Amino acid sequence: MSRYFSGLRDGIGFDIILVGAALLFLLALAGAPLVYNVLMSFQQVDMFTLGSLFRPAVGFDNYVAVVQQPEFWLVTRNTLIFVFGSMTGQFVLGFALALFFAQNFPGASTIRGLFLVSWVMPGLVVGGIWSLILAGDYGVLNVILRSFGIIGSNVFWKSDPNFSIWAVIIANIWLGLAFNMLLLSVGLAAIPRDLYEAAELDGANAFQRFWTITLPMMRSTIGAVLSLGLIGTLQQFDLFPALTEGGPANTSNVAGYWSWQLSFQLYDFAKGATVSVMMFLLVLFASVIYVRSTRHEVRG
């Protein structure tokens, strides 16, 4: 006991209290809902037993029922397309912009700052704006594409089953572009200039410099950006109600929106929880990559 108090005095025990408080906070605010959610996916949940913790257990029935839904495979496919499409777009365009603004030209940092506008806007607002841009009959995008002769007749981005998921992806790329660019810009700025100078003296061309210096030096940044991108994309919700509501016929429905629909539109809370547990496994995978890629950064 006295050792504990002496620990407090010399400051070692104080550390434990601080860490303990943070852990408690995490357990209460992140852990409890998570456990509740997982528990719910194995129970028969009635709308009137939402408040209670103990309900009839049904084993894996909810999981079986979710997989048997006619839209399950379509939603899974859409989720994969949405995640990879959005991430690829955000990353490639974000990297290109970051490289572009890393060049020294007048106004580079100011213009880069302006890109933040897209990032501070709420998703619902972005969805509303893109809903107007992507409208079939009077949308701006169709007018532009037609004037360049790229398309002959209007594309119904939101209502054509072949395009609906891409309508959301386009809006999501725009939304996440600034965040990717910013993180990658920071990574680029951290690479020592003299490495490039030395490489140039040795006769390396621009592509070789990118391939042998930029990419390897950016490895941990890229890992972090990609895993944060995966989490952010799986989290994306606002754009769906604003743009397509998952339609037509679920062709733009993804796991996150589906889970919300099951819980709060169809009041099937157990199935909603089940879908979100399935998604959680994906996010867990992303988190592991993220933690691994940033591990050696902490020891500075």
Partner 1 sequence: MQFTKLGLLAGLAFGALVAATPAYAQVTLKVWSIDGVDRTGIADTFSKEFDEANDDIVVEYRAIPFDEIVNETLRAFATGNAPDIVSFDNPDFALFSSRGAMLDITDRVANSEIISKAEYFEGPLNSVTWEGKLYGLPKYTDTIGLFYNKDLFAKAGISEPPSTWAELAEDAAKLTDPANNVYGVTFSARAGEEGTFQFLPIIQMSGGGANKVNTEGAAQVLDIWKGLIDNGYASRDVLSLGQWDSTGVFNSGNAAMAISGPWEIDRMVEDAKFDWGVALLPTINEDDQKSSALGGFNWGIMANTQHPDEAFRLLEYFVEQEDRIFPEFGNLPARGDIALPVTGEAKKDAALVVFQDQLQYAQPRGPHPEWQKISKAIYDAEQQALTGQMPAMDALNQAQTTIDTIFKQ
SS3 43: strand
Between 177 and 268, whose beta carbon lies closer to partner 1?
268
Instruction: Estimate the share of the chain in helix, then strand, then coil, as percent rounded to the nearest 5.
Output: 75, 0, 25
Rule CB under 8 A: which residues touch partner 1?
Answer: 47-51, 70-71, 135-137, 156, 158-161, 244-251, 261, 264-268
245: left (phi over 0), alpha (psi -120 to 50) or beta: left
CB of 125 to partner 1, least distance (A): 17
Q: What residue spans of 41-163 are helical by DSSP H?
A: 61-68, 72-102, 108-114, 116-120, 123-133, 140-147
Residues belonging to the chain: 300
CB of 77 to partner 1, least distance (A): 13
Q: Residue 43 forms beta bridges with which residues?
A: 57
- Residues 6+ away with beta carbon under 8 Å from 260: 237, 272
CB of 232 to partner 1, least distance (A): 25
Between 88 and 154, whose beta carbon lies closer to partner 1?
154
Between 156 and 290, whose beta carbon lies closer to partner 1?
156
CB of 57 to partner 1, least distance (A): 19
CB of 219 to partner 1, least distance (A): 42
CB of 84 to partner 1, least distance (A): 23
Between 41 and 131, whose beta carbon lies closer to partner 1?
131
Q: Measure the N-to-C terminal CA separation of the chain; round to a whole number of Å.
A: 35
Tokens of 117: 């506008």
- Residues 6+ away with beta carbon under 8 Å from 166: 85, 157
Between 49 and 118, whose beta carbon lies closer to partner 1?
49
Distances (CA, A) of 21 to 1, 3, 36, 246, 284: 20, 21, 22, 41, 24
Between 87 and 254, whose beta carbon lies closer to partner 1?
254
CB of 78 to partner 1, least distance (A): 13
Q: Residue 57 forms beta bridges with which residues?
A: 43
Between 55 and 209, whose beta carbon lies closer to partner 1?
55
